[in-house]
Amino acid sequence: MKRVLFVCVHNSARSQIAESFLNRLSGFSAESAGLEPGSLNPFVVRAMSELGFDISANRTKSVKEFAGQDFDYVVAVCDKEAADRCPVVPLNGEKLHWEFPDPSSFQGTDEEKLAFARRVRDSILQKIQEWVVLQNLT
């Protein structure tokens, strides 16, 4: 089974979303971690629950927890602002960078923040689905 580690800055949104989707939608084993672990984004938790994914009990993790482990892929899911730090992860595995905006950076009402989290969630889902198809073709 191929192992994938999704990395973002805080492991609070994008990497958690990607891990959840890849684990359920493929035969891969996915984990997620952050460079500076924070706390789960409540709007992402709500957006994921709308699709039947309960990530409310997930723990944010540091990339340091995965030191010495082998991964087939290490996928940075950072935005432009964090791109210079995010892909620099001292782990084994082919490095990929999928750029997604950070839901925690969005300002607005709670409903606007939830709508933004949904857009990010849907973008990540689309990318995961496309990538799984490509992986199964190779």
The residues annotated as belonging to the active site are 8, 78, 86
Angle, CA 104 vertex, CA 107 and CA 37 arms, to 5°: 160
User: What is the bridge-based pairing of β-strands 73-76 and 94-97?
Assistant: parallel
CB atoms within 10 A of CB 121: 26
